[in-house]
Structure 1
């Protein structure tokens, strides 16, 4: 801003100097002309006055030499050179030079002017006797009869006249310098008052360009500069509000992307990763955020996904397909590759969207298996009922012994069919959480003891030992009937799948805020590769044996949903041939 102030002062000084020089030249010439004319008039007036004084003496005599005495007296009172010339041009008297040394002056311009009848004759030339430039004024000396007796001439050095002009020039120069100094000082003050707020406004503008939107102009100014300051402040306020809005939008967008269950990855035109979200890390099984700035190939490690991305680059069209991942574990993902424009025109970026549909496909398979298994399970009792009914209708009912045997089989199959349908309906309600839950205090040791009474007879038949190990006395809140349904299923399975002379043990203890119920047996156990599927509907480890024991294949599925409805979870630990332990964890306080 000092540059601006300096430029303003320089421009003003230049304009003022040009204006001053023009005025000075005009004034000097005018004053010089005026001074010259004034000096000429004064010299002419003086010559006329002296001539009048001399003419008073001339009237008494016709001899010019008789007035030289008076001229000698006047010479002492005047600084001008005085000369008297007779009509023939001879010098009668000269105050500066001996008249004898002077030549005839008949050819002098001022002398000739008087001879020609002019009242005053003037001339400027270099004197041959004094060798200096003089200004000459000549007036006639008239006799008593009006005749021309001679000419009185006064001379003054031109340097004296020019001295006045020089003084005028010096005065104008001094005045101009003083005026220029004063004007420059005033200009500096004024420009400083103008430049300082402008400088402050420029500093605010520079801060705004550096994205420091909190700065404001707080200086004092006037006129348009004050309006400019207010405009800059309004601009700063708008920029700050827009920046805050952008930051908030960016934060909300980041939060949204980071909490999506869909994996998101942005790839630039050079195939480099620009951004990934946590869901993408989970789907790909590694921390891809460490690979930002590297090629996407290092992150995907899937030929199918890489092929789909390259296809999107080539065609610049959205691509969609299901991709199978085999590393680090088997997964099925729904991949969408969406081309978007980059920051620069023509720049091609891609957004890779991956959605893990492994569980969806697994549930679809479970649903398909359920339909198949349910149809198979229902078909067996229905076929039996149909077959025995047809046999009876064909005449077998006439044999009372056969009739009774067939009716007993039909009753068992219908009971099994009823049990299967009820389990399917129960499981459907539990999945949809349509089963009402009572909230009451439950004593776990009492719930286990009452369940033991239900399986006591079966256990005694197989000589199985039933034990309760209560490490902590616990009361929980929940639905007592649903808890007993869970215990009954697990304990009954333990008795069923444990050989004669075995042992079934239920342990009750507390872990953190959970009540832990462990149902353990030393029975046949479950193969390790099938333990993840035992809670699936109709899934049986040993299908023939399970059906012979009267199971529907839905018991553990029902147990799983009952535990989840009680806000708990269930796990299994088993070794083939060594036994199985089901672990149920329920919150002590119902949520």
Structure 2
């Protein structure tokens, strides 16, 4: 603002000086012109008066010259007496004998040409001064022209008053300029200082310092501008806070999405990624922000789809299979985001991991196929033997009893399978009603041993229960019994004759741990992750022979999950299996779902 003050003062000074000079020049010209005109008229009148006084003395030349000498002592004007031939007879300011002939002087020529008074101004050849000349005829008493009388006066003397007036006027104008500049300096300071303060506030606002405020006290208009700046600062502060809050919420939302999000600009450079994107791709793309997307993405299918979106500038959707770091099926959407023009300003890449969905779809498809297959076997058996009986086997009592026994067994198997399917369905939908109570774990195990005792003794299996300390947990007794019955029955069924099944009951931390260990056939490593799937069997032929439905372990898994528990497996082929159940001591009483 100091520069603005200097500019204003400089321009104003220049303007005032130029105006003053022009004004003084015009006034000087006007005054000088008017003064010369007035002084000339006075000099002409004075010449005519002198001429009329001298007409009475023309007959006595000596008296005439003496009279001119006396008059010259009284007045300051130069008096010159010239004969009709131009000879200078007398001059009050010079020796007449040294002066040249004056007949050709302009003022003399004007009188000769008929003017009453001849007037002219020029530089005097004898004195070197610029003089104003007036001349007229000098007549005798009879009116005859005897010569010329001339009065002249210095121009400088004539305009002397004008010069004094102009000096006074110039002094006044100089004082006026100084006063004006002082006032202007004060006035500009009163304006530029608050404007400078407003500028500082605006600069702080541009640096996002919204605490800056205008606190000056100046002219009303400037203070209103300052208040407007303050209101703008308050508004900007509020808007920035709101934007930051929205950005924080949006960032948190994006960071917590299970969908991978990546923003790519028009130059194919990554602007933003969220953690889900890194997790899905198995790459840390944060280090690739500001670099092109193909430098951090190693899936050719994904890169090809993004590039297709850039070329067509349209939404692209496709399922892409990723093979690194593990095989995944990804639903990819590349969405162009348009600004005010028809061209996209950036692209949003959305990745949704549908591997589990596709797996569940496959499981569902397999389940339907397995159910159909499992149900078809007993139904076919029932139907076939029933048809045989209807075709005439009813007559043979021995055959009748055998066939009815088979039909009964197959129908029982069918009933068991249907019940297991219904129970599994209820477990998956959290519709199993449970009533938690304090249960002694070994008591439940003894009940199961009683149920399986005939099978255990028949196959000469050593059944042991080990419990370092008595253990009670809160759980639905029937659900715990069903879990342990499935595990112990499987252990007995898949253990060779004369084998060993051991149940360990113990406490680890805040959990009850129940392990069912056998030394039977074991489970291959590549199939251990699938044994909890419905109808999945490691050895399908043997599973059917032992009467399993293929749903037992699936039911076990869902019962444990509904009771906030879990199950783990350790197994080796021909060395046996170890199923371990983990249950918290305090269970939530799940009634009609979660």
Give TM-score, length-normalised by structure 2.
0.80
Q: In structure 1, what is the Cα distance between the partners aligned to 2:127 and 2:392?
A: 183
Moved more, 117-126 or 141-150: 141-150
CA contact 1:538–1:552 (8 Å) conserved in 2: yes
Q: In structure 2, what is the Cα distance between the partners aligned to 1:284 and 1:115?
A: 123
Is 1:547 paired with 2:540? no
- Give the structure 1 partner of residue 592 of structure 2: none
Return closer, same or farther for 1:169/1:393 CA change in 2, 3 Å cut-off: same
CA contact 2:505–2:512 (8 Å) conserved in 1: no
- Give the structure 1 partner of residue 327 of structure 2: 330
- Give the structure 2 partner of residue 33 of structure 1: 33
Q: In structure 1, what is the Cα distance between the partners aligned to 2:160 and 2:353?
A: 109
- Give the structure 1 partner of residue 488 of structure 2: 491
Q: In structure 1, what is the Cα distance between the partners aligned to 2:46 and 2:28?
A: 26
Displacement after TM superposition at 1:373 (Å): 2.0
Q: In structure 2, what is the Cα distance between the partners aligned to 1:95 and 1:295?
A: 109
Moved more, 402-411 or 90-99: 90-99
Question: Which of 510, 519, 540 matches 1:522?
Answer: 519
Q: Deviations over 1:522-546 (max 9, x none)?
A: 3332221111111111112222322
Q: In structure 1, what is the Cα distance between the partners aligned to 2:123 and 2:299?
A: 116
Question: Which of 504, 507, 510 matches 2:508?
Answer: 510
Please state whether the residue corresponding to 1:383 is helix, strand or coil. Answer: helix
Q: In structure 1, what is the Cα distance between the partners aligned to 2:336 and 2:261?
A: 13
Question: Which of 462, 465, 468 matches 1:467?
Answer: 465
- Alignment of structure 1 residues 8-407 onto 2, 5 Å: 8-37=8-37, 39-40=39-40, 79-81=76-78, 96=93, 124=121, 130-135=127-132, 155-206=152-203, 215-222=212-219, 224-233=221-230, 235-237=232-234, 239-267=236-264, 272-294=269-291, 296-340=293-337, 346=343, 350-407=347-404
Moved more, 104-113 or 153-162: 104-113
- Give the structure 2 partner of residue 573 of structure 1: 570
CA contact 1:64–1:149 (8 Å) conserved in 2: no
- Give the structure 1 partner of residue 413 of structure 2: 416
CA contact 2:133–2:152 (8 Å) conserved in 1: yes
Q: In structure 2, what is the Cα distance between the partners aligned to 1:172 and 1:255?
A: 80
Return closer, same or farther for 1:174/1:429 CA change in 2, 3 Å cut-off: same
Aligned-residue RMSD, C-alpha: 4.5
CA contact 2:499–2:519 (8 Å) conserved in 1: no
Give TM-score, length-normalised by structure 1.
0.80
Return closer, same or farther for 1:298/1:456 CA change in 2, 3 Å cut-off: farther
Please state whether the residue corresponding to 2:159 is helix, strand or coil. Answer: helix
CA contact 2:83–2:147 (8 Å) conserved in 1: yes
Please state whether the residue corresponding to 1:544 is helix, strand or coil. Answer: helix
- Give the structure 2 partner of residue 587 of structure 1: 584
CA contact 1:470–1:509 (8 Å) conserved in 2: no
Count of residues in Structure 1 that have an aligned counterpart in Structure 2: 586
Displacement after TM superposition at 1:372 (Å): 2.1
Q: In structure 1, what is the Cα distance between the partners aligned to 2:297 and 2:82?
A: 128
Displacement after TM superposition at 1:503 (Å): 3.3
Please state whether the residue corresponding to 2:535 is helix, strand or coil. Answer: coil
CA contact 2:461–2:492 (8 Å) conserved in 1: no
**Structure 1 unpaired stretches of 5+:** none
CA contact 1:506–1:518 (8 Å) conserved in 2: yes
Moved more, 84-93 or 529-538: 84-93
CA contact 2:571–2:577 (8 Å) conserved in 1: yes
Moved more, 342-351 or 532-541: 342-351
CA contact 1:476–1:589 (8 Å) conserved in 2: yes
Q: In structure 1, what is the Cα distance between the partners aligned to 2:153 and 2:32?
A: 17
Please state whether the residue corresponding to 1:433 is helix, strand or coil. Answer: coil
Q: In structure 2, what is the Cα distance between the partners aligned to 1:357 and 1:109?
A: 122
Q: In structure 2, what is the Cα distance between the partners aligned to 1:286 and 1:191?
A: 64
Q: In structure 2, what is the Cα distance between the partners aligned to 1:113 and 1:397?
A: 177
CA contact 2:471–2:505 (8 Å) conserved in 1: no
- Give the structure 1 partner of residue 423 of structure 2: 426
